[in-house]
Structure 1
Amino acid sequence: MTATGADREAAGSTTRGYWWWERRRSVALDVGLALVSALECGLEGVEFARNTGIPVPVGVVFGLLAGSVLLVRRRWPIAVVLVTIAMTPAEMGFLMALVGLYTLAASEVPRRITVVLAGMALVGTFIVTWVRLRQSVAEQADFGPGDWYVPLMSVFMAVGLTAPSVLFGLYIGARRRLMESLRERADSLERELSLLADRAEERAEWARTEERTRIAREMHDVVAHRVSLMVVHAAALQAVAPKDPAKAVRNAALVGDMGRQALTELREMLGVLRTGDALTAPAAAGAGAVPLASVRRAAVAAAATAASEDGPRLHELEALVAQSRQAGMTVELSVDGEARPYPPEVEQTAFRVVQEALTNVHKHAAGAKTWVRLAHRDAEVAMQVENGPSDSAAADAGLPSGGNGLVGMRERVLGLGGVFVSGPTDAGGFRVSAVLPATHPGLSGA
């Protein structure tokens, strides 16, 4: 695993402590270069003292001090180059000139300053070389080169002492900046990948939660209505068995039919879930290059599609209302508009809303008169289930309630872009209303 920028910065900070140097080897290198440069300038100071007439010790000390300036090349590269240019007439500090120009070109100093100082060093070297060569040619009478010799050799010397150092320094500086840019991009990419991984984990957790919620909602819709009716019929069977054995037999038969229907729906739902698992395992085993997450998403989508295609439809509302009537509930069903097919998700959601509303009536308002209204409109389908006040003696059938019925209905309707409203009526009953769009961008067309 690569270190991030913060880790590298923290590691770099631990190596600091030598003024402007970051590493010990940098200190050793600069100290060594400064010693060699001071020694060179000290030796050249002897010749400088003889040419200028100053005492030799003064020339040597001057050379040692000037050459040791190379020690601060990383901190003040401009100062080092300026000292080098100033020492050019004395023909001292060739090593300092080479290293100083290289350091200046490789540093973060603006390019225009680098060009100006390099140009000054080039001109200074050219002038000194020109003067020295002319003096040498004049002193040697038997050596008579052409007029081209002095300027050409001066250009060669000036370019040879300045251009290589500057060009190499520019290359090293550009390479250093490129590496730093690549490290920053790598750190940025690592942070982005970490952020994407966190977001992917959040999305995966959200998807798992949504899938668990969907399965729980489907199980609730399948079981609650059938079992509620079974409990109502069982209570009626217990009440009428001693008085009307024939009616008790009919109620017992209804309880058996509803139990078988509940088992059938549960079996179908579990079959859909097993189908999703079966799709996941062979695909993951047979296609090793296919990501498991993609296979699972495809399996979940297939399971959801299968569940919606095998789910109930609006034309089954008559049978649903008939079952409630057989349980002793007074239910009126009215349908407005011309019936037409809708996407499976819309029909299944509409059916489940009516089913859950009737289940709640069985649970909490047994014996209350109920009205089921279905309206087919141009771009939507609306449904409403309203019950009146129940008899005080039969106000509650004693069925357990988890409080998830209305929440599940709302989630279903809002998930399709519809509107859901529920609440008590002024007459003392309860009303559940929902409106679903006939088509939706996320749904398959009818």
Structure 2
Amino acid sequence: MINVPSPAVAIVGRHNSGKTTLVEKLIAELVSRGLDVGSVKHHSHKGFDIDYPGKDSYRHRAAGASETVIAAPGQMARIKTVEGEMECRDIVRSMPGHDIVLVEGYRKSGLPTIEIMRSGNPADVAVAEAFAKGAKNGASLGTDFIQASRGQGAYQADLESKMPRASTVAIVTDIPQAEEAADIYGIPVFGFDDVEKLGDFLQEDYTRHCVSVVIQAGGESRRMGRSKATVPFRGKPLIGRLIARLAPVADELIVTTNEAENLQFLHEEFPHLDIRLVPDVHEQRGALRGLNTAFSAARFPYVAVVACDMVFASPSLIVAEAVRMSQTKADIVVPVNQYGFEPFHALYRRSACLAASNRALADGCVRAQDLFDGQGLEVLEFTREEVIEVEPRGGCFVNVNTPEDLKRVEETFFGE
């Protein structure tokens, strides 16, 4: 099973800043948009419990069980004994499949953080004043701003570890000094009633972007002597193997083909998948035209393009590419090997790449490489070492062009 990592953002602030209220509103706002939201609450006191004496599950734990799962229709809870305190990133890693996880607290997690400063909270006012002074004095973000504003009295000890950091990506406040400092640092500011705008901000930059997986199966292959899509592999059509492998990481599954009538069986074989069979946009064939068709057909921001003859195409690689694209804002994340780019197991940002491929085609370009050169796209290379880390067994770029290739791959089949 492929676990799709959940992106996470921490909502941080001092005691009585209003973190829980804001997290509650943000969850409701994002869920109303159809997003799957997970949440983590940092409890600073040792020994909290969600189970009580007298309950059967409590008796299990009291008897010595280190982990107990309580399951009922529509709900499940897991109580586990751990040594010390789990790292926030490890907790988020254990929560795959969400569009976003909102974390309350965990300032030192290294996650992107949204800082709260409320005028009704004296501790927040003290921080805002120190924050503004540091900003005006040219201190770098992440400085211990309290050092720049000594004499804050009883709040100083608590505040020294609870200041905006380099990880701060937004500030929610009604304090003018905090707004002024944020403006100096170029950090977006939201009011406490700007939940919809804050939701827009999170959805644009920090939620998981949906992926359209496009399997290219143009039609007749001269070297294979028949359509690669329907050629048998281990007794089943090769295209079916690709769909079964990649569907778990696809928010949308597209097969580009000029033989849709011969692939209608896919709807019967995979009735739970809304597979779209899309013809080529262009009359003439070519690698760049095929990519342009994929970008034109896709509905989602990220487009993974895979050739149908890649027997061991890797869903894990697609997930890793999507994570890197989200982290870096690249337009293309493409694996590289000793022969160069692997454009038909790469991930593309639809908006930028559709426009760039249209320009390249208008200029008479036909190669996939032409999309990478001279179009002003931000190209991130996914190294061989990174590919091996994601797919240790390798083989994800192996393709079959001839009956001999197919026989050889079948004979050395990994047996996943």
> Would you tell me which structure has more strand in proportion to its own residues?
2
TM-score clears 0.5: no
TM-score range (shorter-chain normalised) is under 0.3
**TM-score of the two chains, using structure 2 as the length reference:** 0.21
Structure of larger gyration radius = 1
Which structure has the higher relative contact order (CA within 8 Å, separation 6+)? 2
